[in-house]
């Protein structure tokens, strides 16, 4: 059983592991929420999907905080019935409250529990369930302390990310054209939607600018039309998408990425090898996005700009400095690629299969 839901940051790493388990001939049953992205992408991948009703309490109003424990209890009962009726062999969770309910069900039914923590700061579910887990897989070092049960694997990514050419082979940093990729996460980011069109316009209008300047901008559904209109009014060639389905292709076409610093985004950027400017989401629980971004910055592979300091002039200046020094841009991309862990999904799947029978999952 795989338990993952809510955002792409929880769902896509779990999906990468699911693909490896399926390829090895195992059955996979996925537990998620009807409202999350998993309700669309999991069935589309041919995986059996069951939804439960569960929500968090951190950052919520008083009523939602009071309701959350009752929902969690009801969800545990639902998952426990599934574990028993479907003869589940083990449970794999990637954090969030779907994983909390399923993890508790695994503990109560004495099934092996496996956890994967994507961020540089462990989430609530990972911290609470880690003492009961048979094996824990982390993307960053020293996230949950030292233990023989903890392995730093990196974040599991889809198979396509392990088949891409290196930055130098893509001829990154050569030529006079330039593509800037803007990633606001799976739901978009209003601040990036507001600032980036004007910043890219200033970049294109500067003396010595590029012969061809293009933007690919993931806006989220809600603000897609407004962002399209902003670029059009500024005369910028922009491909504005609510959601980017083929992320490997989008990343390898980019000279520079401007992005939030969700764990999955950081890992995908490393897998491809692209220079990045991160604007961490300031309201992320435990400020985990800042920790993710600074980890990569410490390797010389990225720059970090707090949202409170973000404006179009500053961002345009930063982009210009990077894009006009093509050797430095290539160096950042190669430093980023050096941190990639392309075999993480396979390593996690193999470990699950070694530690517990997964003939029925």
State which residues form the domain around 8.
2-157+342-355
Q: Are residues 21 and 149 in the same domain?
A: yes
Q: Is residue 327 part of a domain?
A: yes
- Phi and psi at residue 343, in whole multiples of 5°? -100, 15
Q: Is residue 21 part of a domain?
A: yes
Q: Are residues 226 and 248 in the same domain?
A: yes
Q: Is residue 119 part of a domain?
A: yes
Q: Are residues 153 and 57 in the same domain?
A: yes
pLDDT, tens digit (0-9, with 9 covering 90-100), for 15-31: 999 999 999 999 999 99
Q: Are residues 144 and 262 in the same domain?
A: no
Kindly tell me the sign of the dihedral angle through the C-alpha atoms of 55, 57, 60, 63.
Answer: positive
Q: Is residue 361 part of a domain?
A: no
Using DSSP's 3-state secondary structure scheme, residue 274 falls into coil
Q: Are residues 307 and 203 in the same domain?
A: yes
- Could you give the C-alpha distances from 158 to 16, 246, 261, 275, in angstroms and in order? 5, 11, 19, 21
For the record, the structure tokens of 96 come out as 């969030």
Residues 74 and 62 sit within 8 Å (Cβ to Cβ): no
Other C-beta atoms within 10 Å of 274: how many? 28
CA distance 76 to 103: 9
Q: Are residues 263 and 327 in the same domain?
A: yes
Q: Is residue 76 part of a domain?
A: yes
The pTM for the full model equals: 0.91
Residue 323's CATH number? 3.40.50.2000
Q: Are residues 33 and 107 in the same domain?
A: yes
Return per-residue pLDDT of the chain as tens, 361 residues: 999 998 888 999 999 999 999 999 999 999 999 999 999 999 999 999 999 998 655 555 566 667 778 889 999 999 999 999 999 999 999 999 999 999 999 999 999 999 999 999 999 999 999 999 999 999 999 999 889 999 999 999 998 898 889 999 987 756 668 999 999 876 679 999 999 999 999 987 765 667 788 999 999 999 999 999 999 999 999 999 999 989 999 999 999 999 999 999 999 999 999 999 999 999 998 999 999 999 999 999 999 999 999 999 999 999 999 998 989 999 999 999 999 999 999 999 999 999 865 444 5
Q: Is residue 360 part of a domain?
A: no
Q: Is residue 58 part of a domain?
A: yes
Q: Are residues 56 and 151 in the same domain?
A: yes
Q: Which pLDDT does position 185 carry in this prediction? A: 73
Q: What spatial distance separates the first Cα and last Cα of the chain, rounded to whole Å?
A: 5
Q: Are residues 130 and 168 in the same domain?
A: no
Q: Are residues 24 and 124 in the same domain?
A: yes
Domain count, the chain: 2
Other C-beta atoms within 10 Å of 144: how many? 18
Q: Is residue 71 part of a domain?
A: yes
Q: Are residues 122 and 201 in the same domain?
A: no
Q: Are residues 250 and 348 in the same domain?
A: no
């Amino acid at each position: 059983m795989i338990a993952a839901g809510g955002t792409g940051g929880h769902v896509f790493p779990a999906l990468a592991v699911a693909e490896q388990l399926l390829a090895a001939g195992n059955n996979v049953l996925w537990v998620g929420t009807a409202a999350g992205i998993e309700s669309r992408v999991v069935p589309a991948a041919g995986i059996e999907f069951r939804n439960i009703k569960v929500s968090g309490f951190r950052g919520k109003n008083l009523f939602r905080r009071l309701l959350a424990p009752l929902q969690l209890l009801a969800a545990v009962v639902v998952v426990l019935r599934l574990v028993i009726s479907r003869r589940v062999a083990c449970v794999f969770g990637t954090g969030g409250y779907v994983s909390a309910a399923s993890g508790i069900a695994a503990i109560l039914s004495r099934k092996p529990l496996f956890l994967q923590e994507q961020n540089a700061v462990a989430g609530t579910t990972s911290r609470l369930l880690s003492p009961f887990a048979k094996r824990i897989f982390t993307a960053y070092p020293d996230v949950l302390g030292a233990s023989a049960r903890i392995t730093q694997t990196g974040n599991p990514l889809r198979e396509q990310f392990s088949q891409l050419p290196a930055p130098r082979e893509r001829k990154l940093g050569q030529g006079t054209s330039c593509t800037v990729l803007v990633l606001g996460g799976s739901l978009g980011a209003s601040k990036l939607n507001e600032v980036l069109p004007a910043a890219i316009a200033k970049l294109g209008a500067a003396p010595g600018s590029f012969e061809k300047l293009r933007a690919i901008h993931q806006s989220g559904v809600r603000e897609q039309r407004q962002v399209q209109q902003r670029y059009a009014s500024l005369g910028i060639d922009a491909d504005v998408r609510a959601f980017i389905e083929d992320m490997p292709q989008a990343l390898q076409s980019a000279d520079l990425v401007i992005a939030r610093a969700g764990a999955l985004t950081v890992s995908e950027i490393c897998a491809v090898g692209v220079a990045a400017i991160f604007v961490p989401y300031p309201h992320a629980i435990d400020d985990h996005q800042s920790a993710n971004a600074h980890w990569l910055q410490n390797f010389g592979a990225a720059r970090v700009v707090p949202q409170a300091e973000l404006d179009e002039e500053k961002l345009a200046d930063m982009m210009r400095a990077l894009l006009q020094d093509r050797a430095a841009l290539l160096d950042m991309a190669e430093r980023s690629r050096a941190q990639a862990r392309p075999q993480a999904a396979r390593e996690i799947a193999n470990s699950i299969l070694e530690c517990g029978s997964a003939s029925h999952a």
